[in-house]
Amino acid sequence: QVQLVESGGGLVQAGGSLRLSCAASGRTFTTYAIGWFRQAPGKERELVAAISWTDVDTRYAESVKDRFTISRDNAKNTVYLQMNSLKREDTAVYSCAAGRRWGMAILPSDFSYWGQGTQVTVST
């Protein structure tokens, strides 16, 4: 069992930065891939970024490449999402998730455990 708690969301102006944290409980954290997903009102949940349990492989949505960076600190059982150059369209609830599947496509169904989410609002 893995429990996930997100933090770091908030209100930021366009062009600004935020760093989201996903703190996990459980001794087996290092055996899970972690994904950050977001969902805006009226839109489907979408993958933002994911990192494998080995920390070797990362994936990003095209819309956030070169702006967002995912990283993990296994000693702290925490995964981070550094978000720079934020745009209004990045406004959404961001959730982290843990799973043990890692394939060519990263899908929400690959993840077994989810956090409650944290709101990110980008103003112009």
3-state secondary structure the chain: CCEEEEECCEEEECCCCEEEEEEEECCCHHHCEEEEEEECCCCCCEEEEEECCCCCCEEECCCCCCCEEEEEEHHHCEEEEEECCCCHHHCEEEEEEEECCCCCCCCHHHCCEECCCEEEEEEC
Instruction: Taking residues 20-41, report their average pLDDT.
Output: 92
User: Residue 106 — pLDDT band, cuts 50, 70, 90?
Assistant: confident
pLDDT greater than 80 at residue 55: no
pLDDT in tens, 108-122: 999 999 999 999 999
